[in-house]
Structure 1
Amino acid sequence: MSTVVQPPRAPLSRFIVGLWDGMNFIRRLILNLLFFGLLFLFALLVLLAIVGGGSRQAPLLDRTTLVIAPEGELVEQYRTDPFMRALAESGGGGTGEVQLRDVLRALEAAKQDARIERVLLRTDRLTFSGYASMREIADALAELRAAGKQVVAFGEYFGQQQYLLAAQADEVYLDPEGGMMLEGLSGYRQYYREALADKLSVDMHLFKVGEYKSAAEPYILDGASPESKEADLYWMNDIWQRHVADIAKARGLTPEAINAEIDSLPSGIAAAQGDLAQYALDHGYVDGLKTFEEVEQLLADRGVADEDADGGFRQVAMRDFLAHVEPRPADRRAQVAVVVAEGGITGGDQPPGTIGGESTSALLREAREDDHVKAVVLRVDSGGGEVFASEQIRREVDALKAEGKPVVVSMGDVAASGGYWISMNADRIYADASTITGSIGIFALVPTFPRTLEKIGVRTDGVGTTRFAGAFDLSRELQPEAGQAIQAIIDRGYRNFIGKVGDARGRSSEEIDTVARGRVWSGTQALDRGLVDELGGLRTAIAKAADLADLGTDAWRVRYVEKTATPFGRFLTGLVGSRAGGLLVGHSDFARGLLARAVPRAEQDLRLLESVMTPVPGKPVKAVAYCFCEL
């Protein structure tokens, strides 16, 4: 047995090895400290939640003011998971999203609750989503006032959409340094033909049916086509004049006076010496100029002063109020199920806020297989998307009807193109007068890049076993014959679309073609053309579904069929939502920073465009039924 003796390391080598070992030790130490620190934090949260027993609900007293001050985007359903929303609220901020159903439910409950004396309404921090949803809240506010409940509105700045809600109040107050003005609707967007074709040498090939199908025009033109301008101005004028009429009715003004003031807007603002708040007061849009502190004092004087409450008056926030009025025990009465279809329509399993051909179909299937569900309301707020995914959902609507369960569609702000496709087979279709719908048509957009590649010295060459092998390779020029094949696919898809609409609406394909061809309509215009059955909002549609199922008046309840959180996710949500967990997380800069990075906002239209341009095996191109018609 022999022993090999290693020669001693040189001084420089020993220094480098020692330095490396020291750095490794420090790295492991930091990671271990971080791991055990997070573990300790989690254990502390669990302990505090157990000891604290969660947050205890404060009693709801008489003569309480309900504060409805939504902050964020008005949505049909949350797009973020419950844990992240609870974490955001515990961190001192809003969730960034407000569910339409929650606002409507709070107003409906306040109308009947004797403990609610009045409502303080703040809409200036609510992000506009569309005119249909705003009008539904406006109707609920008007009903609340009709029931004898006072509504006081305050804002620092009102957009013309937010102002529709504020105008429903008995009194509207504006901060003296704030402002509001009505200016009208517009629909402007960027056009990329020169940038794509001339600058980047990208050839965009558009295949469509219908001269009004303008969703892909920005990629092939330098400006809107005459047909696009004609159609857009037609439905925009209808929605805008209704918006003006709604405001005029609420404020005791006339539409003619409001339109005249808009036409003379510069001189009117100049007459108010540039003071937008004074301009709003002079023209009767608000009742007074007050700071928020002055409005709070007014409410304390009229209601019940409470030094311990925010603002000094007895109040309850909308979220806390809903916790009082919502039934807690499981209710197994007959149900009207509501399935929300919001966002772009794409294939597969998609998260809330996006419609998935498989995931939305699964929710409808769940409602079909649940014996407690007697009718279904499909709430649609979508500009459309992939044709195949839309067809998957339409088939599930048909399956529900075949099962004997009535299906009623409630169109939200937008139910156009693919959004109309998934709606058309319902037993009854409701739209708000200002819903954007129609756009019955499809298109395909195929970019090719050979000229782009040549600019950097790259060329495509090779062989194929048939004439059309590789014909749809985006790095090659698109052959005219291949273009003919794609156009034939789109033509067939359009015939299929109008044929299905005709079958669903009891009309011929030729009749549907006259109101289709990609043209967009307002809800009122769609009603006149037989594309929807009645005007009404979500509450009206739910009541109709119950009526079609013969459920009577009180023997049923509403249940939203949605994806449920995992048990661990529900545990974390309850943990962070507890008083103890909220106190700890609420003072954590780390948690707030983590949240800000964890809830990114993606541009849905760009994501949809990327999706439909992704090739599918067996399909040279995806047929798309989409409408870029949201305001």
Structure 2
Amino acid sequence: MTKPNSLIGRFFYRIWKTVDVAGRLLIGLIAITILVFLVRGCVSGPDLPKVNQGSALVLNPTGTLVEQTTYMDPIEEIIADAQGTKNPETSVYDLLDAIEYAKNDDNISVLVLQTNNLAGAYGGISKYQDLRKAIDDFKTSGKKVIAIGDNYSQGQYYLASSADEVLMNPRGALMFEGMARTGTYYKSALDKLGVNVHVFRVGTFKSAVEPFLRDSMSEAAKEANIEWLGDLWGHMRDDIAGSRDMTSAEMDSFIENFLPLMKAQKGDAAAVAVNNGFVDKLVTRAEFRDYMIDLVGFNDEEDSYQAIGYKNYLKARRPLVELPSGKDQIAVIIAKGEIVDGSRKEGTIGGDSTAKLIRKARLDDSVKAIVMRVDSPGGSAFASEVIRSEIVQAQKEGKIVVTSMAGMAASGGYWISATSDEIWAHPTTITGSIGIFGMIPTFEQPLNELGVYRDGVGTTKWSRSFDVMSGLSEDVKALIQESIEHGYDEFLTLVANGRDMTVEEVDKIAQGRVWSGEDAHRLGLVDKLGDLDDAVESAAKLANVSDYEVRFIKRDINPTEQMLRDILNNAEASGDVAKVQALTAQSNPLVHAISSQVREAYKLVTDYNDPNHAYLHCMCEIK
């Protein structure tokens, strides 16, 4: 900022400089303090957690269950966690590993599911199903599984119902809402603002752009959405009913008559849950501690029951370094999140960065097959093809490629899967959405009303084609629509080739329509229904490999990043992270709130970065 000459200008300039210098000083002090704490934690080198005989393993997932946690810079992660602005995530594979280790661990006597901090699952309900399957397998060891919650949301209860015993606080509540797909529609607001949203699409059911064209959900979108939502809800309802030894009809009746049941109990939701067989017993937190002390004994401090959290348990049981075994390998590559052009770190699928992971597996002679674990609603059409092209190259060089669909593998997520040697999906996977759209907003009308106009010259009729402040000519609109229709034809063709169908057959089940994995299997878009383990086993058979190990292919971490991670992990175990979080929590919440909004807006703009403005996105996340 240049120093102004006026008195008022100099006054505000001094205020700005004071705030700027103070902010820089505060950030510097926090950074130095963080470094001191973390380095001290690294130097001290904490001992590995101890797993006492007879301990309860506590599975207490926080935030959203994901296939792959979103990357954050270690220092930023500490600050965000301290300020309460971090969006917590829990890797479903950490939970699955902990359950598997505990099954055969003589020091673990019982599994406790604490669901209070579980917010949901990215992409759908398949991650809950994976955990329920692992818990059922854990039970074969003869060890008990206990679920405890202050309250139960629908997702929390879906996981908790797999336990032998479901406990809840007497002040708690349980209510089943079913599943819904609700959108926010902007057409009238955009009309009032004078913003012209130019949409180019192919497909009756490609409803991703409807919020910009309508004020309500179209009948076609309602038809498609209720179909796949019904499939997902049916699986959740039937699973819960089976776990609680009741029929699906009995559960439907409970939901339908929830209000009369509540009235009969004078609004006591906890009593309703117990009386109708969904909760076994009501206990306060103190009563639960006493119950567990009777079951597994006191901890070392004698202030609670003998237990170890899953994170510490993994530190104690998971090997620090995976040594090569010399066996053939089945490589698993996780593609989770929006698909964008370029390179991205974990949590977003970058076309270049994901292709690099595939190339890494392709060039490794010990890798006999690749399993793509896809959990994505799609995104950039160009980036999707960059990824698929690398898959095709791996197949040309003799690698078997199998796709395992997680919660979502729709639109761009289906594009990258379509030509795999085999496609697996959960019955509850959200998939299909074979369609394409383009969208360009222009702002000439509101600018004109403010007295702002754009004009200029160019050497050809296309020179000023994409000036969003001038609008789009009819020729440009026709040009983009031609490109979008060509993209749709490409989508149909590659699906037809990959699924051994005709283009006409694909078009009948495409049109941008979303399907459940169950329906996709019936329609031929998916080969088999099953989870990641099933897909890995099938990939090994296709590659004629019997003695193999599974290897997750991950991004190479640079030395600086690895050092920071090591320091953070050691400092976390020694308790220094808590001290840093206490310090950073005192920073200005208003500044953070503003910066958070800026970051979200920036992400929205930068993630839609397809060079051809063409997108394969289902907009089908369950909120």
- Normalised by the length of structure 1, the TM-score is 0.87
**1:177 CA displacement:** 0.8
Change (3 A) 1:536 1:220: same
> Residue 426 of structure 1 is aligned with which of 420, 425, 430?
420
> Residue 193 of structure 2 is aligned with which of 192, 197, 200?
200
Q: Is the contact made by 2:56 and 2:112 (CA closer than 8 Å) also made in structure 1?
A: yes
| 1:43-58 equivalent positions in 2, closer than 5 A | 45-47=38-40, 49-50=42-43, 52=44, 54-58=45-49
> Residue 69 of structure 2 is aligned with which of 78, 100, 103?
78
Q: What letter is aligned with 1:249?
A: G
- Matched residue SS, 2:68: coil
Q: What letter is aligned with 2:412?
A: G
Alignment match, 1:123: 115
| 1:316-355 equivalent positions in 2, closer than 5 A | 316-333=308-325, 334-355=328-349
Q: What letter is aligned with 1:610?
A: V
**1:606 CA displacement:** 6.9
Q: Is the contact made by 1:416 and 1:439 (CA closer than 8 Å) also made in structure 2?
A: yes
**1:428 CA displacement:** 1.7
**1:185 CA displacement:** 1.0
Q: What letter is aligned with 1:421?
A: W
Alignment match, 2:578: 586
Change (3 A) 1:136 1:124: same
Q: 2:622 matched to 1:624?
A: no
Alignment match, 2:557: 565
Give me the whole-angstrom Cα distance separating, in 1, the residues matched to 2:187 and 2:509: 29
Alignment match, 2:447: 453
Q: Is the contact made by 2:341 and 2:609 (CA closer than 8 Å) also made in structure 1?
A: no
Q: Is the contact made by 2:431 and 2:514 (CA closer than 8 Å) also made in structure 1?
A: yes
Alignment match, 1:312: 304
| 1:251-330 equivalent positions in 2, closer than 5 A | 251-308=244-301, 312-330=304-322
Aligned residues: 599
| 1:420-499 equivalent positions in 2, closer than 5 A | 420-499=414-493
Q: What letter is aligned with 2:97?
A: R
Q: 2:394 matched to 1:393?
A: no
Change (3 A) 1:478 1:289: same
Give me the whole-angstrom Cα distance separating, in 2, the residues matched to 1:345 and 1:493: 16
Q: What letter is aligned with 2:48?
A: Q
Change (3 A) 1:495 1:433: same
**1:430 CA displacement:** 1.2
Alignment match, 1:575: 567
Give me the whole-angstrom Cα distance separating, in 2, the residues matched to 1:380 and 1:63: 38
Q: 2:393 matched to 1:402?
A: no
Q: What are the superposed Cα offsets for residues 338-373 of structure 1, whole Å, 9 maximum, x if unpaired?
A: 211111111001121111111111111111122332
Q: Is the contact made by 2:46 and 2:574 (CA closer than 8 Å) also made in structure 1?
A: no
Alignment match, 1:68: 59
- Matched residue SS, 2:409: strand
- Matched residue SS, 2:279: coil
Change (3 A) 1:549 1:163: same
Gapped regions of structure 2 (runs ≥ 5)? 1-16
- Matched residue SS, 1:437: strand
Q: 2:157 matched to 1:146?
A: no
Q: Is the contact made by 1:154 and 1:292 (CA closer than 8 Å) also made in structure 2?
A: no
Q: Is the contact made by 1:106 and 1:318 (CA closer than 8 Å) also made in structure 2?
A: yes
- Matched residue SS, 1:628: coil
Give me the whole-angstrom Cα distance separating, in 1, the residues matched to 2:87 and 2:463: 51
Q: Is the contact made by 1:82 and 1:573 (CA closer than 8 Å) also made in structure 2?
A: no
Using the TM superposition, name which of 459-468 and 358-367 deviates more: 459-468
Alignment match, 1:8: none
| 1:174-253 equivalent positions in 2, closer than 5 A | 174-197=168-191, 199-253=192-246
Change (3 A) 1:590 1:259: same
Give me the whole-angstrom Cα distance separating, in 2, the residues matched to 1:347 and 1:570: 26
Q: Is the contact made by 1:205 and 1:445 (CA closer than 8 Å) also made in structure 2?
A: yes
Using the TM superposition, name which of 403-412 and 85-94 deviates more: 85-94
Moved over 6 A (4+): 27-38, 88-95, 598-608
Using the TM superposition, name which of 510-519 and 57-66 deviates more: 57-66
